Every structure is written in structure tokens, then in C-alpha cells.
Structure 1
Amino acid sequence: MSLNAGWYLGSDHRRIRSALNTGFTAAAVRSYYAVFKVVAEQICEQLESFPSAATDVCSLLSAATLEATCQAILGCPTQDLGEEFVANNREIIKLTASQSEVHVLADAIVSRLPTWVWRVVIHLPTKIFAVAHRGRFLGNQVGGRIVREKKEATAQGLEAGSDLFSRLADPNNSDMLAEEDLVPQAGVVLVAGQETTTNTISFGLFELAKHPDFQNKLRAEIYSALGNNTTLAYESMPLLNAFIREILRLYPAVPLSDCIVLEDTVIPLGESVMSSRGKPINQIPVRKDEIVTMAFAAYQRLPSRWGKDPHLFNPSRWLDGETYQGEAVGPYANLLSFFGGPHICLGITIDLPGVG
């Protein structure tokens, strides 16, 4: 799950980040579990009702994660967003998931153009820009309505909900966000939080389908740990944890990210690379305002970090000590799937219970 705090800089980022953190504490995350449990049960019921033929789980999971995100973050079911918003949301996901090689290349080039050029380009009459603009408008419209409703409920003395927006719109909350800061978060979280989760779960199911023996062992471990309990002690299930780590390693929801250099510096390399002239390079000098691309997916398939078969699904690498045990990278298991530093993904505490 990813939230919009990463789009702010400096003191604005710290202020927004501090406020959003209130919805991702251990106590706050526990309050969302009931929602997630109901949505998960609904998914299971739908899957069981499907015929034995091949099933498109991606669309099913996409709708389910949108529902879970709506209830946990906004405090309302998907149907309250309106048919137009849901349809536009579906169109955004469809377009971003079916980009051609030309579109991918164009995105990479445009993102490196001067800001004034980018501001002109985004107003070109293309379908993807039109859908994106419409999504932003509808997201702000929905977010504004929800914030106003929550403020009115508080003014009437009604008890605030446990969802994130109720916390941040509550005037009695010291971390309350101004409406102009809170409203834009609605549209962003409903797309970013929805598809990152959907894709990760989809790849997990994909690997389980390819490895039925591992699937049976994992199911047995979960049933054994569950017993007569209604909750799971995740830390007591090594196979499940190894599975989660391996899926996050192989299929990071965000395969790469661009960072802007704030000052001239030198980036040391963990491993030397050879230049075109055959000379080893141990560090890379960068200048202020240059863009540095962080290739998370490439890093998470380095043989020096993950063993001799980094391109294969192999959860046992996390159990037999095959993974690199050197300096820590990222907030979890030496992975960069959740970024790191001050821009670490807020959703890590939801995606990984007990982390954060």
C-alpha cells in the first residue's frame, strides 16, 4: 500500500507524514483487521462458487482490495464512491496494466523533461491523460465529500470512526490535517494502495499454483498454527514468512523509483562494475538535481545477495541462510519493496503485521 506523503518535500512532507502515521500504528492497524477479515471471507466465497475452469483472480482481488482500502482508510464501502469514480478507477488500472513498449518508453522520457514541458505534455488530448485528470477530479470530489461528512458528524457529537480519514478529520486530534491536505489523499490511496496489494497477492497465488507441494506444506502450517484460535501468530510460522519474503523479493510492487539528488555527492557501490573501457568502477559521482533510478527489482535478483538461483521462486532460501547476511538494506528482510528512509511506505504495517 502506498500513500501520497511521498509527493511532499521538506517540512511539508514531515507534517503530512506525521499525521498519516496515526493511521498506521499497531493499534490502528489492529482496528482494520475486522474489515480485512470480512473482505477475505467474501473472496473465498466467490472463489468457491466459481466453476473449475480458469479464473481471473486479478479482477476479483482488485475489487476486493478497493473495498478493503475504502473501509479502512475512508470509512465507507466502495458503493459510496459512486459509479463514475469506480468506473474511472477501473479504467486507470486497465490502461496502466496494458501499456505498450512505446508507452513505457514515452513515460520514461517524459519524466525526465523540464517541469514546464511536463506541464504542457500532461494536457495533451490522449486517453490516458484524460482518464488521469478525470480520476484526480473525482478523487478530490469524493475526498471532499467524505471529509465534510466526517466533520459534520463530529460537530453533532457523534463518535469518530476508526478509519484513517476519521482520525485525520477529527478536530480533537492533534494530528488533524487541513482539508486541502487531506482531500487529495483519497484518490491516490484508492489507486496506489489497491493495485500494489492486488499485484503482490496475485503473484503469490501464481507461485502457489505452480508449486502445489509447497502450497500443501504452507496450508498445513497455517492450520496447525491456527488450531482453535481465531487469530494467527505470524511470527510462529516460518514457512509463511519465507513465502511472503520470497514473493516480495521476486515481485516488488514498484520495480523501480526515481530519486532527485539534493546536493553534489558520490554514491559508493557495494560491488564494482566494469566500464566500457574495462576499468572497475567503485563509486558514481552525481550532481544536484540529477535523477537517480533505484532499480529495486534488479537488486532483489542479484546472485551475490540472494544465492545462485535469484530468478527462481525458492522460499527455502530464507530458511537455510542462503540469503546475504551483511549490512541491512530497506526496512524489512534486506528488501527494498517498501522503499526506505523517510519515504518508507506507510502501508508496511498493514502488509506485514508486526513490522514497524
Structure 2
Amino acid sequence: MLLSIVTGLILFILISFTRRFIKPRRKFGDVVKLSGPPPGSWLMGNMPALFRPEEVGDADFSWTRKYGTVFRMMRSFGRDNLFVSDPKVINYVCKLLSYQLESMRFGAQLVTGKSLVWAEGDQHARQRKIMEPAFSHASVAAFLPVFQEKCHIAIDKWRDIISQNGGNPVVLNVHSWLARLTLDAMGAAMDYELGSLEGNSENQLAKEYENLFSDSQYNRGDGRIIFFDLIGYLPEWTIHLIRNSPDASSKRLKKYFTTANHVARTLILSKMSLLAAGKDAGKDIMSLLVNANQSGEVSIEELIAQLTALLVAGHETTASTMAWLLYELSRNQDLQDKLRREIAESQRRRGSEELTTQVFESMPLLQAILKETLRYHPIQPRTTRTATQDDIIPLSVPHKTADGKFLNEVAVKKGQQILISFAALTSIWGDDAHVWNPDRFLNDNGTTKTGLGVISNMYVADDLAIYLANAAA
């Protein structure tokens, strides 16, 4: 990201963190004994294979087939990394407090400000306490009518386009439409009408958000890859430099951030005025947040950051999941027919009763399709942990070292980075882990197996995105 300043930032990192990056290999325990894919270079390591695949997961599956579920790979600047898809290792590492999630505070603050996505420790606990009432099961379920309304608008728009084409085939950019749908739905849940589905070119926030991240997602040159790989080490003061960089990506980011902050501030101050006057501010997300924060435990700036975070975390991620779901269904006519029959039967049983979350949960095939889409097309196919102390990690099966010996456990030193891949978990998903197959989430009697397991994440607004995806499906 931001190629015009990447070189300067890399030089800063090299000078400031040389001792941290270039450590004697003996310090990293057994990791250097493991075999693994040869790096393309000391500077880039194996990162291009992860950042520039034809399809997400290509490197994960290829490496796991060749080197097993625990092996060594190299990140930028020659940093040895432990790559794992061993379920025993994942369970061990993710449950222990001695392994910390790799900090992405810099990236989170750059895009959202000091939001819940950015916060850690006491700050995270304080913000989450205020956020939770707005995202309780009951609160989120109350937004279903809003989500349905936006879905119906999108469907009507598609029907209009098809009818206006005189019966000829029509090509629709489904992901673009779903992005507009989810953006409008998230906005409505915060009592703010964006009008993206209606083509409202007057709404500044909707205009600024459109294609906000397109450059950063699809133009992954070497400089950009290094930037993303080292972003957790950048000092906070460089955020100002990046936001004010003259390149197109920075300008779009700054305009969006400024507009989103203005909208959020206006909404929050309006809700605060209503509450101060003893009036009902409503049941939307912003009203619930302001009401829960009457003690002032969270600052106005932190409340503002939550709106930006919600749009970023809940809008594009949900749209992408739904786009993949529809793509997979388009390739499986039999499954489409089964799903239609399940929905039709649910509608027949429900009659004129209101659509509820219980209705969604009573449709096992719909839930299996959603879960399998989240598994096969995860928003985050990998996560990283860093050891905060020396440790011995147990392995589920012995692994062969580069010199032909076998290890039943891997000794790691403080500071060791561990890249956890969900994509390559054939030991859990079976030999067809590389295939989209909703049947894996169905029991023999046709009911849905419980839990999303490793594919769920810990963001407080998860239910909001899940219910929106259900409503859209």
C-alpha cells in the first residue's frame, strides 16, 4: 500500500528493528530444523506465494501436501516462520495466553480509527462492554425487517434490469450489487440512509466507500507485500504520513475517513441530544451505543470509530461471503433446487408469521450452505500468533526434520511467529477439504451440525453479518 512512501518506511524499519528481525537462527529452537518451501529471496521470503495466489489457499494446500502440517517458511527479511495446520498445534497455540495474536493495530487505526478492532487489553474490554448491548442476540434479531427490506429492493432492481432487456441474457456484477445491499443495510441499522441501491450519487459517504480498497486488494507488488507483512511494526506517527500521501489510495482513504467521521459525529450528537431531552432515540445501533455509554466510559471519538469499523468489518466481508455463496450455488443446480424446496416448505409452515432468526435456524440446508461457504471462502484464511515465552509445542504426528530425524514436539523461543492456516485442515474436513461441500455440515438425519469451529471469528458484530447473510440468502 502507498508505494510512494513504502521505501522510506522500509528504511525506517530496517534501521529501527534490525536486531529484532535479523536474529541468530539458533535462537528460534527447532523451527530451523524443519523442512519447508524454499524462499524466493531473503527480502521477500515465501510471502508472494501467499499474497499473490491464483486462488486463496493454493500455497497452503500445495505446501501441506509436500511438507506436512507443520513446517518452516520464510517471511520478509529472512524471518523464519512456523507454518501449521496441525489441529493439535492450533488448539494448543490458540488457547494459551502465552501466544499473542499478531498486532494489526496500525492497519486497524489507519482505516477505522481507535475502534474496537484497534483496541487491546483494558481498552478492548472497555469498548466491548459498551458495544455488546447493541449486538446482543435480541438486538441484532430486531434488525431483520430492515435487512429484508434492503434485500427486496435489490431483488426488484435485478428484476427491472432483466425485464428491460427484452428477455435477452443479462450480465450482472453480483458482488457490486451485494456490496451496495450490505452497505445500505448496515447504514439503516445505524439509522442512516445511504441509498446505494437506489443509485443515490448525492450521498458522500456512499461515494467515498465505493471501491475504497480496490487498489490495496488487487495490486500486490513487492513493496506492497512488504508493507503489509511489516505493518504491525510501524509506529503510530506514520499514520499521518500515509493518510496525507499524494497517491490515489491515500487520497481516497483520507476522504472516506473524514466523511465517515463527520457522519458518525452528527449521528452521535443527535442521539445524545435526544437522550438529554428525555426523548426516545430509537433502537438502532448508534442509539443503543450512546444509551449504553451515558456514563461517558467511552469517548465520543471512540464511538465515532465504531461506525467506521462496522462499515468496514461488516459490509464488505458480508458482501464477499454472499457473492461466493451465490457463485457456488450457480455451479450446483441440484443444490439450488433442494434449497428452494426447503425455503418454500419453511414459508408454507410459517404462513403469515413474521420472519425470525428461529426460522433461519430451522432450515438445516441453508445453514449448512452458509457454514460451508464461510469455511471454504473464509474472510480470513489464516491467522498469526507470536510466542511471548519459550515453549514446547506438542504435535499430533511426528514430523521429519531436514536432516531426516523425527520430532514429536517443536521447541520455540520467545518472539517466534506462527502462521496458522485454516484452509489446509484436511485432518478435520477430510480429503475433500479443497472442495465446497455443504453436506459435511449435515448429520445423517438431515439436521445441521453445530458450531462453525475454527472458521468463526471473535468480532462483536458477528451476528449482525450472519443474520444479514441469512436474510440475503
Tell whether the structures are fold-level matches, with TM greater than 0.5: yes
Secondary structure (helix, strand or coil) at the match of 1:146 reads: helix
Match among 346, 355, 364 for residue 231 of structure 1:
355
Equivalent position of 1:71 in the other structure: 188
Counterpart for residue 111 of structure 1 = 231
Q: Give the direction of change, closer, same or farther, for the CA distance of 1:104–1:278 in structure 2 (3 Å limit).
A: farther
Mapping for residues 222-301 of structure 1, pairs under 5 Å = 222-227=343-348, 228=351, 229-231=353-355, 233-270=359-396, 272-288=398-414, 291-296=417-422, 298=423, 301=424
Q: Does 1:127 align with 2:248?
A: yes
1:214 deviates by: 0.5
- Structure-2 separation of matches of 1:81 and 1:154: 32
1:159-170 to 2 correspondence within 5 Å? 159-170=280-291
Cα distance, 1:154 vs. partner?
1.9
Tell me the residue number matched to 2:131: 20
Change (3 A) 1:348 1:274: farther
TM-score by length of 2: 0.63
Percent identity, please. 25
Q: For residue 25 of structure 1, report the CA deviation from its aligned partner.
A: 0.9
Query: Deviation per CA, 1:112-139, whole angstroms, max 9, x where unpaired?
Result: 5453795587354432233223322222
Greater relative contact order, per chain length (Cα 8 Å cut-off, separation 6+): 2
Where 1:92 maps in the other structure, the secondary structure is: coil
1:35-50 equivalent positions in 2, closer than 5 A: 35-50=146-161
Counterpart of 1:61 in structure 2 is 178
Residue by residue over 1:90-128, the C-alpha shift from the partner in whole angstroms, topping out at 9 and shown as x without a partner, is 131333443235465233333254537955873544322
Partner of 1:89: 209
For 1:177, give the aligned amino acid. V
- Give, in angstroms, the shift of residue 175 of structure 1: 8.4
User: In 2, Cα distance between the equivalents of 1:117 and 1:267?
Assistant: 37
Cα deviation, residue 34, structure 1: 1.3
Query: Is the 1:18–1:175 Cα contact (8 Å) retained in structure 2?
Result: no
**Would you say 1:335 and 2:454 are equivalent positions?**
yes
Q: C-alpha distance in 2, partners of 1:271/1:163? A: 50
Instruction: Please list the CA deviations of residues 30-76 of structure 1 after superposition, one character each: whole Å capped at 9, or x if unmatched.
Output: 2111111101111211222223322101111111101111111x211
Name stretches of at least 5 consecutive residues in structure 2 with no aligned partner: 1-107, 163-168, 445-449, 468-473
Equivalent residues of 1:22, 1:28 under 8 A apart: yes
Residue of structure 1 equivalent to 2:46: none
**Residues 39 and 67 of structure 1 are in contact (CA less than 8 Å); yes or no, is this contact kept in structure 2?**
yes
Q: CA distance change for structure 1 residues 136 and 316 in 2, over 3 Å: closer, same or farther?
A: same
- Give the letter for the 1:316 counterpart: D
In the alignment, the residues of structure 1 paired with residue 223 and residue 159 of structure 2 have an alpha-carbon distance, to the nearest angstrom, of 38
- CA–CA distance in structure 2, aligned partners of residues 179 and 196 of structure 1: 26
Match of 2:338 in 1: 217
Name the SS of the counterpart of 1:50 in structure 2. Answer: helix
1: CA distance, partners of 2:153 / 2:329: 20
Structure 1 length as normaliser, TM-score? 0.82
After TM superposition, give the deviation of residue 160 of structure 1 in Å.
Answer: 1.7
* Of 109-118 and 128-137, the range deviating more from structure 2: 109-118
Residue 342 of structure 2 contacts residue 365 of structure 2 at CA under 8 Å; is this kept in 1? yes
What is the CA distance between 1:87 and its match in structure 2? 2.0
- Deviation by residue 1:166-223 (Cα, 9 ceiling, x = unmatched): 1121278568633122011122221221100000000000001000111110110111
Counterpart CA distance in 2 for 1:171 and 1:313 is 41
Structure 2 residue matching 1:294: 3-state secondary structure: strand
Secondary structure of residue in 2 paired with 1:335: helix
For residues 138-179 of structure 1, what are the alpha-carbon distances to aligned partners after superposition, in whole Å with 9 as ceiling and x for unaligned? 222221111111111222332121112111212785686331
Distance in 2 separating the partners of 1:222 and 1:133: 44
Residues 383 and 420, structure 2, Cα contact 8 Å, conserved in 1? yes
Shifted more, 195-204 versus 233-242: the winner is: 233-242
Matched length: 335
Contact residue 261 and residue 290 of structure 1 kept, 8 A: yes
**Residue range with higher mean Cα deviation, 136-145 or 281-290:** 281-290
Contact 1:261 1:288 in 2 (8 A): yes
Task: State the alpha-carbon separation in 1 of the partners of residues 218 and 394 from structure 2.
Answer: 37
Go from structure 1 to structure 2 and tell me whether the alpha carbon gap of 1:271 and 1:63 turns closer, same or farther (over 3 Å shift): farther
Q: Counterpart in 1 of 2:218? A: 98
